[in-house]
Amino acid sequence: MSFYNEYLKYKDFDFDSFFKNTTDEDILNTINKDKLDKFDFLRLLSPTAEKHLEQMAAKSNKLSLQHFGKSIILYTPMYLANHCSNKCAYCSFNVENDIDRKQLTLEEVEIEAKNISKTGLKHILILTGESKSKTPISYIKDCVKVLKKYFDSICIEIYPLEEDEYKELISAGVDSLTIYQEVYNEDIYDKVHIAGPKKNYRFRLDAPERGCKSKMRSIGIGCLLGLYDFRIEAFMTGLHGYYLQSKYLDVSISFSLPRIRPHVGSFMDLHDVNDKNLVQIMLALKLFMPYAGINISTRESESFRENLIPLGVTKLSAGVCTEVGGHSQSNKSSSQFEISDTRSVSEVAISLERKGYQPIFKDWVHI
């Protein structure tokens, strides 16, 4: 079994008629339910549900307080390298793009770590482009060894791995995995992943499950909003999370909702996802899986991120640079995409406190 079987069940589903047949009453009944099934979730993603966002928000706020309280975990990404062997139409790191390529030495990793840890953050997300030859597992492991001295939780966002490779990284000190499918629609996936190992849809789709099997503590998934119809993509993302959570009860699942940002790439056939759409996705996910985390990145603007907080956000990145060496070096490389919220860690923390939320710098211990 794999999530692919689940994907296939809904691949040719008639979403249009389902949405057309969804009434206001259906939405209100769904909001009032204690437990939502997959079709309830889909109803909440319908155009009809757009009229009921306020009621959805009220419930989402309540569920979020119940499950997570008034606390938001902060973390920051650290780019280790931007080498990439793939040709993704939507990304600046694309192997064919003429950008400065860079990879941190272990000494540079240590300097970055020291600089980031001055902000008080204890959670770090390490990223690479997807080049297994330039940034092999052994390199990631060496970096983790350095980072362990400074951080309590280390999350990886790198090329998909085999189960044993994930295990290797866990024993080195990694506890969490983030991996985005980018787009669940297999045809679009094939179209935007022009060349490189990332073309292998199934290998990527099953990566989160391999992470679960390897005993990662938490796993973040998501799609890159804008590559295809957001309602269907959000549905598939939620189903994927639900599939993983039901099968691997011990893993904590979280969702990220990145919207495509300006980049050095070429792909322009975008599906617009406006603020209201993003809010709807987030609320539908929260009502469907209240125990799952929700992560909003700095792709979103400061004010928008602030407004999303009471709707169920559990994790925020702060003090973000998407360049390799961005936390310490003056000759930074090209960034993966433009960020929108450029606030420092302390600025984000202060604004959370002002909103009546507690910024959490540490929520894990190495065990």
Partner 1 sequence: MDKLKIGGTKLDSRLFIGTGKYSSNDILPKVIDSSKSQVITMALRRVNLDSPKENILNYINKNCILLPNTSGARNAEEAVRIARLAKAAGCGNWIKIEAISDNKYLLPDNYETIKAIDILAKEDFVVLPYMNPDLMDAKRMVDAGASAIMPLGSPIGTNRGIRTEEMIQILIDEIDIPIVVDAGIGKPSQAAQAMEMGADAVLVNTAIASSSDPVMMGDAFRNAVIAGRKAYLAKLGSVKKFASASSPLTGFLQGDE
Nearer to ligand SF4 by Cβ, of 198 and 305: the residue is 198
Find the shortest distance in angstroms from Cβ 336 to ligand SF4. 6
State which of residues 43, 167, 198, 204 lies at the interface with ligand SF4 (CB under 6 A). Answer: 198
How many residues bind ligand SF4 (CB under 6 A)? The answer is: 9
Min CB(270)–ligand SF4 separation in Å: 15
State both tokens at 160. 């998909």
Alpha-carbon gap, residue 242 to 40, rounded angstroms: 13
Smallest distance, partner 1 to C-beta of residue 366, A = 9
Nearer to partner 1 by C-beta: 47 or 120?
A: 120
Per CB under 6 A, does 94 bind ligand SF4? yes
Residues 203-222 contacting partner 1, CB under 8 A: 217
Give the pair of three-digit tokens for residue 245: 């959570």
d(CA 183, CA 228): 7
Distance of alpha carbon 26 from its chain centroid, rounded? 30
Q: Residue 171 corresponds to which tokens in the numbers above?
A: 């024993």
- Residue 75's binding partner among ligand SF4, partner 1, none (Cβ under 5 to 8 angstroms by kind) is none
Interface with partner 1 includes 353 (CB under 8 A)? yes
Residue with smaller CB distance to ligand SF4, 72 or 179: 179
- Cβ contact 88:94 at 8 Å: yes
143 exposed, middle or buried (CB, 10 Å; 0-12, 13-18, 19+)?
buried
120 interacts with, out of partner 1, ligand SF4, none, CB within 5 to 8 A per kind = partner 1
Cα–Cα distance list, 288 to 24, 162, 297 (Å)? 18, 30, 21
Stretch that binds ligand SF4, among 15-23, 89-97, 236-244, 303-311 (CB under 6 A): 89-97
**88 interacts with ligand SF4 by CB under 6 A:** yes
Q: Near ligand SF4 by CB under 6 A, which window of 84-92, 146-154, 243-251, 289-297? A: 84-92
**75-134 residues near partner 1, rule: CB under 8 A:** 120, 122
Q: Which of 56, 72, 91, 316 binds ligand SF4 (CB under 6 A)?
A: 91
**Residues in 140-159 that interact with partner 1 by CB under 8 A:** 152
* Site membership for partner 1, residue 357 (CB under 8 A): yes
Q: How far is the CB of 303 from ligand SF4 (least distance, A)?
A: 27
Six-digit token string for 297: 């990145």
Contact with ligand SF4 (CB under 6 A) among 77, 129, 173, 222: 129
Q: Does 358 bind partner 1 (CB under 8 A)?
A: yes
Residues 295-314 touching ligand SF4, rule: CB under 6 A, are: none
**Are 247 and 212 in contact, with CB atoms under 8 Å apart?**
yes
Q: Name the pairing type of β-strands 87-88 and 193-195.
A: antiparallel
* Contact residues for ligand SF4, defined by CB under 6 A: 84, 86, 88, 91, 93-94, 129-130, 198
